[in-house]
Amino acid sequence: MMGKFLGRLRKGLSKTREGLLRRLGEVVGGRSKIDEELLEEIEEVLIEADVGVGPTTRIIEGIRERVKEERIRDPERIQGLLKDEVMRLLEDSGVELSEVAPQRRGGHKEPLEEGGGGLSGLRVSAGKPRVIMMVGVNGVGKTTTIGKLAQQYVDEGKKVLLAASDTFRAAAIEQLAIWADRTGADLVRHHSGADPASVAFDALAAAEARGVDVVIVDTAGRLHTKVNLMEELGKIHRVLGKRIPGAPHEVLLVLDATTGQNAISQVRKFDAIVHVTGIVLAKLDGTAKGGVVIGIRDALDIPVQWIGIGEQAEDLRRFEPTEFVEALLG
Ligand SMILES: Nc1nc2c(ncn2[C@@H]2O[C@H](COP(=O)(O)OP(=O)(O)OP(=O)(O)O)[C@@H](O)[C@H]2O)c(=O)[nH]1
Ligand SMILES: [Mg+2]
């Protein structure tokens, strides 16, 4: 079970993992006991990995307490203690889907289709199609994530349609068309420069007519500070809901893990306009600061649902704390 699946995740997280383990080795090496000085150095290691100040403080506090209570002295035990505390933090903080307000759940509590969700965890509720809208700033990995998601849903036997609502550049439409081709998903496109909301509207009409299970709407990257562009996003959102009440069922905000903690301010701005139901943290493979997952999960009441660990279709994973911590510190 563990072998290949965890292996690929571990490989995807290798920059962060190797950085963390190397630094821990340096800090622990040659010491004979766990003391305040060592804990301070571990604190620094976590900050360097972009875990964030709040969560880092709590992790260190947890280690300090256990060291005291259980009279642990051997510095070699630090890695294990760290793993336990990160795990505890990820389990307590962040949000389990069951605790999330209904509108945040993205339909996970809706009636399930026979057979459940499969690898992607997608539960197709009785009402079809399920509509997913992808948003985020420029170049974070939206279109690639759509391709990866399409692959997973198609592999589960679902009929998928991609909506090319990034009409800003012809190349953006072509990029989505390539993913549609590669995955066997349908595509609804207009010419570049067309109204993105009307592409979205037409995509839903086509999806209903063709009995599609999942529609994924691509949108142009935009800076969260550009008011008119954010309003355009709001319009796409409204049009989707007008065509199919309740749509979009999920709004996934894609963040680039290499931008670190700055990502958090993007979330608030997007959430205010389109009500984000889940975070996708892409490009985790490209950074040694993968600890940002922990920081983001701690800071927000929106769940990290997916992580991107490469450019291939199979490089998108459900974010599972246990698996994540095992791949990082196991
Ligand atoms: N290494 C790595 N690269 C990724 C990942 N996700 C996306 N990329 C790469 O990031 C680049 C940008 O990805 P896109 O999917 O085009 O990003 P986008 O958000 O759609 O960009 P715009 O539409 O221009 O805003 C591409 O070169 C992708 O291959 C990932 O998880 N890991
Ligand atoms: Mg794109």
Contact 162, 156 (CB under 8 A): no
pLDDT for res 190: 97
Ligand 1 pocket member 311 (CB < 6 A): yes
Percent of the chain at pLDDT exceeding 90: 78
| Bigger pLDDT: 95 vs 57 | 57
pLDDT exceeds 50 at position 101: no
Question: How far is residue 51's CA from residue 57's CA, in Å, rounded to a whole number?
Answer: 10
pLDDT digits (tens, 9 = 90+) for 146-182: 999 999 999 999 999 999 999 999 999 999 999 999 9
Question: How far is residue 100's CA from residue 98's CA, in Å, rounded to a whole number?
Answer: 6
Residue 146 Cα: closest atom of ligand 1: 15
Q: Mean pLDDT throughout 220-227?
A: 94
Residue 147 Cα: closest atom of ligand 1: 15
Q: Mean pLDDT throughout 78-92?
A: 93
Q: Please choose from 144, 168, 266, 311 the residue to mutate so as to test ligand 1's pocket, defined by most ligand atoms within 8 A of CB.
A: 144
Residue 145 CA to ligand 1 centre (angstroms):
8
Show Cβ contacts of residue 17 under 8 Å, excluding neighbours closer than 6 positions: 10, 290, 327, 328, 329
What is the pLDDT confidence band of residue 93, given thresholds at 50, 70 and 90?
low
Q: Fold match between 2-92 and 102-109+121-319?
A: no
Q: 102-109+121-319 has which CATH code?
A: 3.40.50.300
Residue 282 Cα: closest atom of ligand 1: 31
pTM: 0.89
pLDDT digits (tens, 9 = 90+) for 14-53: 999 999 999 999 999 989 999 999 999 999 999 999 999 9
Question: How far is residue 157's CA from residue 118's CA, in Å, rounded to a whole number?
Answer: 10
CATH fold for domain 2-92: Four Helix Bundle (Hemerythrin (Met), subunit A) (1.20.120)
Q: Mean pLDDT throughout 70-96?
A: 87
Question: How far is residue 77's CA from residue 92's CA, in Å, rounded to a whole number?
Answer: 23
Closest Cα to atom 10, ligand 1: which residue? 141
61: left (phi over 0), alpha (psi -120 to 50) or beta: alpha
Angle at 281 between CA 5 and CA 48, to 5 degrees: 95
Q: Where exactly are the structural domains of the chain?
A: 2-92, 102-109+121-319
